[in-house]
């Protein structure tokens, strides 16, 4: 199937380009009877939008969402939920200069190779603006998950080579960086501010943690929950690495050091002595917290002069103007949360069909 849909049961299809008329998403498979209003969606879009601080792009994208279908008297009806956000603060002129240039680190070259043409205004479909649709759909998934007591928290855990040392969930949304460690937040923010002044950019790492999950989500083989999560996170622009639980560092360990030992049951739920597996065994949640991390490259668009080539292969000097994020991390948090929530809601639906007794 084509590449703009995600999910098997709760399926979303996003559409729209950076400088087109609008962007949006259609959700197919949302059950009937869920209370939902524009506000539920707008709250998450506001977390994603640029211009929230000097740490992010200064573009003004108000991103007002409108729900066009699938609701009746503020309840979902089981029909597709179509949501739209009109593009407003669009300055396409600045891109005319680059229309034949291939910007380093961008999809300009590869879109041209694949499609023979491309919408060069603001990156077109390859723009981060495409995630507006994902965040809107994720807000619906989140609403259902929250009713089930399941909560997903994303936060910045590394900027450049500075790492967090503690996690205070309540502090995350209190700082524009979405860092859960007050001390480190300042240090990280000044790194970002410095690269911004230099006309450069910086990478980072985000961690996502979901609490309140039941055991049993995900399925063997190709739909392992970690495989689905990896796919969903790697589909976000600029992500270069993904890990679960201990992640890459587990490769240096012995089995006897990292096996999470089960030590009993409490209220019918298994208790573990550790969570090196990040809440997953054999691709299925085990009831512990789900923990994943992913690496974001530094933003490719930098205002520092660079060299690159044009369509004909000639080397040219390149000076990217625009208004770009010096670091992708702060705004990637709500996007990653949305993707995780979309994977989880799908797995919850799937899990309803795992036992014959559930059909009766």
Binding to its own copies in span 76-135, by CB under 8 A:
76-82, 84, 102, 104-107, 109-111, 113-119, 121, 124-126, 130
Query: What sign for the dihedral angle of Cα 340, 342, 347, 352?
Result: positive
Using CB under 8 A, pick the residue from 39, 170, 313, 317 that binds its own copies: 313
* Contact status: 5 vs its own copies (CB under 8 A): yes
Q: Which is nearer to its own copies, 204 or 330 (CB)?
A: 204
Q: For residue 227, count other CB atoms closer than 10 A to its CB.
A: 15
Q: Interface with its own copies includes 8 (CB under 8 A)?
A: yes
Spell 177-210 as b/e; 16+ CB within 10 A means b. bbbbbeebbeebbebbeebbeeeebbbbbbbbbb
Distances (CA, A) of 115 to 6, 15, 39, 50, 97: 22, 17, 38, 29, 21
Q: Which of the residues 171 through 200 are near its own copies (CB under 8 A)? A: 195, 198, 200
Q: Which of 144, 150, 208, 335 binds its own copies (CB under 8 A)?
A: 144
Between CA 291 and CA 52, with CA 156 as vertex, the angle to 5 degrees is 135
Report residue 63 as tokens.
Answer: 């991103």
Stretch of residues binding its own copies (CB under 8 A), selected from 52-60, 173-181, 253-261, 330-338: 253-261
- Per-residue binding letters, 258-297, with its own copies (x by CB under 8 A): xxxxxxxx----x------xx-xxxxxxxx-------xxx
Smallest gap from Cβ 329 to its own copies, in A, equals 9
- What are the C-alpha distances in Å from 248 to residues 241, 256, 297? 10, 17, 17
Q: Pick from 150, 179, 302, 332 the residue near its own copies by CB under 8 A.
A: 302
158 sits near its own copies (criterion: CB under 8 A): yes
Stretch that binds its own copies, among 49-57, 167-175, 180-188, 304-312 (CB under 8 A): 304-312
Binding residue (CB under 8 A) for its own copies from 202, 291, 333, 340: 202
Binding residues for its own copies, how many (CB under 8 A)?
Answer: 160
Query: To the nearest whole angstrom, how small is the minimum distance from the Cβ of residue 96 to its own copies?
Result: 12
Of 122 and 334, nearer to its own copies (C-beta) is 122
Q: How far is the CB of 170 from its own copies (least distance, A)?
A: 25
- The total of other beta-carbon atoms located within 10 Å of residue 87's CB is 18
H or E segment and range at residue 12: strand 11-16
Q: In this chain, which of 211, 227, 275, 289 binds its own copies, going by CB under 8 A?
A: 227
Nearer to its own copies among residue 175 and residue 276 (C-beta): 276
Query: Dihedral, CA atoms, 171, 63, 11, 231, nearest 10 degrees?
Result: -50
Q: Distance (Å, rounded) from C-alpha 282 to C-alpha 273?
A: 18
Only one residue has tokens 């055991």, namely 215
Considering the complex, state which of residue 15 and residue 171 has its C-beta at the smaller distance from its own copies.
Answer: 15
């Amino acid at each position: 199937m084509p590449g703009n849909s995600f999910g098997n049961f709760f399926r979303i299809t996003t559409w729209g380009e950076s400088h087109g008329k609008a962007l949006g998403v259609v959700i197919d498979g949302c059950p009937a009877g869920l209370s939902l209003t524009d506000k539920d969606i707008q709250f998450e879009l506001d977390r994603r939008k640029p211009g929230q601080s000097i740490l992010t792009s200064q573009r003004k994208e108000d991103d007002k969402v409108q729900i066009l279908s699938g609701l009746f008297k503020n309840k979902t009806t089981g029909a597709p939920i179509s949501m739209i956000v009109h593009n407003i603060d669009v300055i396409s002129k600045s891109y005319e200069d680059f229309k034949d240039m291939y910007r380093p680190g961008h999809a300009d070259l590869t879109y041209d190779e694949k499609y023979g043409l491309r919408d060069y205004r603001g990156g077109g479909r390859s723009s981060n603006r495409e995630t507006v649709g994902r965040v809107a759909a994720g807000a619906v998934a989140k609403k259902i998950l929250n009713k089930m007591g399941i909560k997903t928290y994303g936060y910045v855990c590394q900027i450049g080579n500075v790492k967090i040392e503690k996690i205070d969930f309540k502090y995350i949304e209190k700082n524009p960086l979405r860092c859960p460690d007050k001390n480190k937040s300042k240090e990280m923010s000044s790194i970002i501010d410095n690269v911004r002044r230099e006309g450069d950019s910086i990478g980072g790492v985000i961690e996502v943690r979901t609490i309140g999950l039941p055991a049993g989500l995900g399925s063997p083989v190709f739909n392992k929950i970690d495989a689905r999560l990896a796919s969903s996170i790697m589909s976000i622009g600029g992500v270069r690495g993904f890990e679960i639980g201990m992640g890459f560092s587990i490769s240096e360990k012995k089995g006897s050091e990292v096996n999470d030992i089960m030590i009993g049951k409490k209220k019918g739920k298994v208790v573990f002595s550790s969570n090196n597996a990040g809440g997953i065994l054999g691709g299925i949640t085990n009831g512990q917290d789900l923990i994943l991390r992913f690496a974001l490259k530094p933003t490719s668009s930098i205002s520092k002069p660079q060299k690159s080539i044009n369509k004909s292969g000639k080397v040219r000097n390149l000076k990217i103007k625009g208004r770009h994020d010096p670091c992708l991390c702060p705004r990637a948090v709500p996007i990653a949360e949305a993707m995780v929530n979309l994977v989880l809601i799908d797995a919850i639906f799937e899990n309803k069909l795992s036992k014959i007794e559930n059909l009766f």
